[in-house]
Structure 1
């Protein structure tokens, strides 16, 4: 059987949302035609949700744990079995690379075979599975589990499709693995790492704005500090979602075990200012909404407050001044009266001063 592989962007997959939430188990195989320093001929990594839990490469030739919860949960027999399986997979990549070079009329150069396969347990308890294959970063062929058929991405992949579908047992084996064995292992791994895989940290949201082109304004919604990584962010206009206008960046790690994302929208502030950033996350009982307050309104409010404070301060100062002034007049009058009567108190007071 040809073993071909697809590289999946890690940010595209769902991650955990708690014990009953979604979880996904994914394996990535990558083989290259021209290995070099830091780039082994064959690499395998395994992820549960967004956490790397094992890896293997052709230079080390052994499967090893990469998560503490995995290292303490499985013993030497598990890792020996995984090592033997991956050594067998590694052996299939060089001949498969040669086969594909021939199908695409390539005589040499740097080429890659990639595979991504695994299974998922969704929020509603249903399950799914996937086998996707690729060559040189492009889709090659994928497995339609429900119909036990293969979907070819181009004419070259039609050759593999015909060959693999001629052996009906192959599709049946793939389906059984995805629906049974893979789901069972996913459940075990989630239980092993429940301290981290099932934790929830709610997002924090910051809304800001900046001038952009032609008098427009760009609103930014920075969502950060959340876990797991699956999150939905959209700008609302008068309470209505604006998914097409929302520019949503990739979810990125924050470096502290949590994630962050930025969502922006370009608006005309002269025509409408009722915009709100809406965030949905497994840690939240309901969506989190943070409205945008235009700077002009903010400055107006600040100006009014400052004006009121200045007025109060001025009134208070005037009152104090008048009180001191009145007290001064009385003291002067008393002093003049004492001086005209030849009082010793007046002379003594002046000497002491």
Structure 2
């Protein structure tokens, strides 16, 4: 994207009737953004920038490239790239209530946030850029009224339709599998690792139990962020640093929507014993195969 992407930033609309006639000697910048929905699977976007009634540039509806009509724009616009982002949508709670959100960010940091009930924008950091954006958008009353309707009505209606027709996908549940193993973390430390994978949906609760009691948060306990798998499920790791042979029993406890009221409990001792048993079985199978090959070669030679 071009460094001057702010020229066609899609949230700065100018609606008819929101601006009074210009006084003599005053100037106005207009940034217009258009979205045309051809059908349910395709759309075209376009934009137009004007200073007064002079067309200074446009956004190509096919390539989304910005075209400049005035050579002096290149000197007036910033030279360094920058990024604007937006995060907007709605959430339907199990009790039927809704939550909406609309946040605009700059360079990865929240800039302003829309307050649905008031229909206004609130700055997140208190700086010159957020103050300018807050002032500009709070003056666009027609735009803010439209955003209220889009978030509180249109978004919720669309979400309910998606849930109705896509219930099998939206309410899919995959139970987690968990394994516990140990790694040496130092001369007198052992790191117990609980790996949980293959679960859906994303929310999950992981805890360590010491002698049946939950280990409280602390420097010895560390749980990773939930990460996606290639098969549209999730995984997470949780580690607990302990002293070897400290005389305590440890277990990893997992709670997930797919398990209902049950918990998945993986004790460290049983996990270790299962690993050893698996290695023994594998070694015995290897011995049998090697013995069979030796007998076959021996008979072939004689």
SS at the partner of 2:40?
helix
1:207–1:290 contact (8 Å) kept in structure 2: no
CA deviations 1:126-172 (Å, max 9, x no partner) are: 21111111112222111232443323123111111122223444433
Q: Does 1:236 align with 2:209?
A: yes
Long gaps (5+) in structure 1: 1-30, 36-40, 44-60, 64-75, 96-105, 303-353
Relative to structure 1, the CA distance from residue 243 to residue 62 in structure 2 (aligned partners, 3 Å threshold; closer, same or farther) is farther
Which residue number corresponds to residue 109 of structure 2? 138
SS at the partner of 2:257?
coil
Equivalent residues in 2 for 1:92-131 (5 A)?
107-131=78-102
Q: Indicate the structure whose relative CO is greater, using CA pairs within 8 Å and at least 6 residues apart.
A: 1
Which residue number corresponds to residue 77 of structure 1? 39
Relative to structure 1, the CA distance from residue 243 to residue 143 in structure 2 (aligned partners, 3 Å threshold; closer, same or farther) is farther
Relative to structure 1, the CA distance from residue 135 to residue 273 in structure 2 (aligned partners, 3 Å threshold; closer, same or farther) is same
Moved more, 187-196 or 114-123: 187-196
How far apart are the structure 1 equivalents of 2:65 and 2:218? 44
From 208, 218, 229, the equivalent of 1:254 is 229
Which residue number corresponds to residue 3 of structure 2? 33
How far apart are the structure 2 equivalents of 1:168 and 1:241? 52
How far residue 175 of structure 1 moved from its aligned partner, in angstroms, is: 2.5
SS at the partner of 1:207?
strand
1:203–1:226 contact (8 Å) kept in structure 2: yes
Report the number of matched residues: 224
Q: CA RMSD in A?
A: 3.8
How far apart are the structure 1 equivalents of 2:191 and 2:198? 23
How far apart are the structure 1 equivalents of 2:144 and 2:226? 34
How far residue 270 of structure 1 moved from its aligned partner, in angstroms, is: 4.4
How far apart are the structure 1 equivalents of 2:94 and 2:229? 25
Relative to structure 1, the CA distance from residue 77 to residue 221 in structure 2 (aligned partners, 3 Å threshold; closer, same or farther) is same
Relative to structure 1, the CA distance from residue 33 to residue 268 in structure 2 (aligned partners, 3 Å threshold; closer, same or farther) is same
SS at the partner of 2:258?
coil
2:3–2:78 contact (8 Å) kept in structure 1: no
Equivalent residues in 2 for 1:88-237 (5 A)?
91=59, 107-152=78-123, 153-155=125-127, 156-237=129-210
Relative to structure 1, the CA distance from residue 175 to residue 280 in structure 2 (aligned partners, 3 Å threshold; closer, same or farther) is farther
How far apart are the structure 1 equivalents of 2:158 and 2:150? 10
The structure that is strand-richer by fraction is 2
How far apart are the structure 2 equivalents of 1:282 and 1:167? 43
1:276–1:289 contact (8 Å) kept in structure 2: no
1:235–1:243 contact (8 Å) kept in structure 2: no
TM-score w.r.t. length of structure 2: 0.61
